[in-house]
Amino acid sequence: MDGDLLAIQAAREAADRAWDAYNRFLGTDPAQIDDMVMAMARAIEPEAVRLAEMAVEETGYGNVPDKRIKNLFNALSVAEWLRDVKTLGVLWRDDATRIAAIGEPMGVVAALVPVTNPTSTIIFKVLSAVKAGNAIVCAPHPRGVRCGLETTRILARVAEEHGAPAGLIQCLDPVSQAGTAELMSHRRTSVVMATGGPAMVRAAYSSGKPTLAVGAGNVPVYVHASKSAELGEVAEQILMSKAFDYGTACVSEQALVVDRSIARELRHEMKLRGAYFCTQAESARLAPVIFTADGGMHPGRVAQSPQRLAELAGFDLPPRTRVLITEQSEIGRQAPLSAEKLNPVLAWYESRDSDEGIALSQQVARFGGWGHTAILHADDPDIVSRYSAMPVGRVLVNTPGILGGMGFSTDLEPSFMLGTGTSSGSITSDNVTALHLINIKRVAFESRPWRDIYDVYGN
């Protein structure tokens, strides 16, 4: 039988099973759901390394130690945050206005899973969906099916042990673009959560279903002269974030803008910590390794080590190199390395002063990162205020991009799905959580005599 037909049939059957499970799950005590979510999170902890190994082996992307941390963050930190969040039943009531808000689940969630984070994304989306009282069907990338199925199996088994109906948590197998499209548009699907490349996001928004999707992130990081006394720490934050899992996170730094007065010292600090500054010739050879002729990211070069990228580009690296830095003078299609790079490669710009530094950062964000994230290292409140006007959904100050954006080193909501707002075609600029997966019903009592309408506006 044709592979697409098999995948379409699998999607239809999964959606129907999910709908049946959702209706049996309706009315479950929120306290029982909380226990279920915490149990699923605890079950991931001893499996975090094994799932990371499966993900790296199957996809060829990233590295095991960092994928382990992603798995644990999306299990433990997300679950801990969810425990204190109310999603179902009476969320709040205001006796003065005589209004109450009641949280209700949406139904069946179709969760698209990217190849770059095939296990951690499933953990995040499953915990969030179940916390909100929903059923969920995960649609993995074809290169992430095996590790996706195993992650889903662990979560579903534990959920069922704690009272969830069979079919509440599923993963498509077989999977194809046609099957995923069928899942998104299926009559039983209530909402789509789409994490992935531009084509996947466009398909999700074209499904005819309410959709939570995220856009690309060409994230600028501006280092202002007011951080001159802490450049070693700034260098370490930037390098850690960009090197993490070989750059798979769209919220990690993409282009570094540094004031010229501190550029030499920052360059030195970054070299001490594993940054390699490419020559112009090496940068020229690196660009076609990362990008295809039409400007897209080469899928086989995403989330590869700096050593592998340098090997493909034909140059050698010093031992313990963590990030490749390529010095740029332009921003735009004529300068491919100024675009988003899902690998440990960082563009470098120098600015005359804060006016130019902020302007360069805005140019970077507008070139493929509109609405996502911008990062600032500065101790000057005026600079923080001015930089916060960036056209992005989150501005992170004095913290690594990946840890700040996902809500570990900041008090943003813990999330592995960062909205980019309407400027980039996303319905939200929030860090997406379980609170985005409920409908909120208002119960409103009369608070003013209805006949007053004639006194206020006349007959």
Distances in whole angstroms, Cα of residue 447 to Cα of each of 56, 93, 99, 340: 59, 14, 9, 53
Residue 130 makes CB contacts below 8 A (sequence gap 6+) with 33, 36, 37, 40, 136, 159, 164, 168, 169
CA pair distance 167, 50, nearest whole angstrom: 24
Contact 357, 222 (CB under 8 A): yes
SS3 110: strand
CA pair distance 146, 149, nearest whole angstrom: 5
SS3 28: coil
137 CB-side CA count, 13 A: 34
Q: At what angle do helices 177-185 and 3-25 cross, to 10 degrees?
A: 30
> Token pair of 360, please?
């360069």
The helix/strand count (H/E) of the chain reads as 17, 15
* Nearest CA-CA partner of 297 in 440, 173, 115, 443: 115
Please confirm, yes or no, whether 250 is among the known catalytic residues. yes
H/E element, 275: strand 275-277
- Active-site residue, selected from the candidate residues 138, 171, 250, 278: 250
SS3 302: coil
CA pair distance 17, 213, nearest whole angstrom: 24
CA pair distance 69, 75, nearest whole angstrom: 10
Contact 172, 138 (CB under 8 A): yes
Amino acid identity, residue 200? M
Contact 105, 134 (CB under 8 A): yes
CA pair distance 432, 450, nearest whole angstrom: 39
Q: In the chain, how long is the greatest CA-to-CA distance?
A: 85
> Token pair of 161, please?
């042990």
> Token pair of 127, please?
């915990």
Contact 302, 118 (CB under 8 A): no
Catalytic positions are 250
